[in-house]
Amino acid sequence: MPGQPGIIVMIYLLIIISGAVFGSFFNVCISRIPLKKSIIFPSSSCPHCHQEIKPYNNIPIISYLLLKGRCRDCGNKIDIHYFLVELLTPILLILLFLRLDSHFSLVFFKYAVFISFGIIVFFIDLHNYIIPDTLSLPLIGVGLLVSFLPGTDVSFITAGLSSVIFFLLFLFVAYFFQKLTGKESLGGGDIKLIAGIGAFLGLEGTLFTVLFSSMLALVILLIVNHDPKKQFPLGPFLITGSFVYILAGHKLVGLYLNLFSV
């Protein structure tokens, strides 16, 4: 990044602060979208006593630490995910900025949008076992729209193709798994989510996401000794896989290919 160190520090501060503020808004989305409530009105309130949170108690990251994760009014514990989202959003945006050679470009904003959707989908699916259409469908639309713009990294043909191919692949797997076992494997939400990931990441990125997230899910299932009768959200794994690809995929794919080159 050209320029004085002062400017660089300012840019990083700007990303951190706006990331934390966006994270705070994503928390509102995570708790209200599954309930089909407005994400704009009313202002933030405690999930327990529903007392409105005063602006000076609603400073991202800092308020959670100062109030030790409890509501100022009723003293009930506030779920750690509120803090995690406010912390994770700026961290991921800084990693993205570094990954793109500390440069603001269309590609940076494209993946910043993807990461934003991803964080919200991750926590909604984790808590509620659903991926709302209000998130997955715009994700497909925005991914395809951006692929038309000059300076993007995935062309419209690739974005459209990978969106359709992985949508059909997931649909096929879901259909045959249901036929063979009578159980649901992939939900409609997962199928639309992978179409959105396809539109943003293209063929290689989406294939990486599917392979990485399947392996990760398998490891976690074995570690936690998951009861097969219980529901298991796949969305958080798909989102994790796609984030890993965006931030480090080029390195990991390179390492993998190197294993086979003599």
Toward Zn ion, which CB reaches closer, 52 or 184? 52
What's the closest the beta carbon of residue 30 comes to Zn ion, in angstroms? 18
What's the closest the beta carbon of residue 72 comes to Zn ion, in angstroms? 7
What's the closest the beta carbon of residue 193 comes to Zn ion, in angstroms? 33
Q: How far is CA 112 from CA 79, 148, 247, 260, in A?
A: 25, 18, 11, 33
Toward Zn ion, which CB reaches closer, 72 or 127? 72
Nearest CA among 88, 102, 89, 98 for reference residue 251:
98
Helix/strand/coil for 182: coil
Per CB under 5 A, residues contacting Zn ion are 46, 48-49, 71, 73-74
Buried b (16+ CB within 10 A) or exposed e, 38-71: eeeeeebebeeeeeebeeebeebbebbeeeeeeb
Question: How many Cβ atoms are within 10 Å of 179's Cβ, its own excluded?
Answer: 8
Toward Zn ion, which CB reaches closer, 63 or 242? 63
- Looking at the DSSP assignment, which residues form a beta bridge with residue 45? 52
Read off φ and ψ for residue 47, nearest 5 degrees. Answer: -65, -15
Read off φ and ψ for residue 36, nearest 5 degrees. Answer: 55, 35
What's the closest the beta carbon of residue 53 comes to Zn ion, in angstroms? 9
Toward Zn ion, which CB reaches closer, 49 or 91? 49
Toward Zn ion, which CB reaches closer, 32 or 48? 48
Q: Which amino acid is at 39?
A: I
What's the closest the beta carbon of residue 70 comes to Zn ion, in angstroms? 8
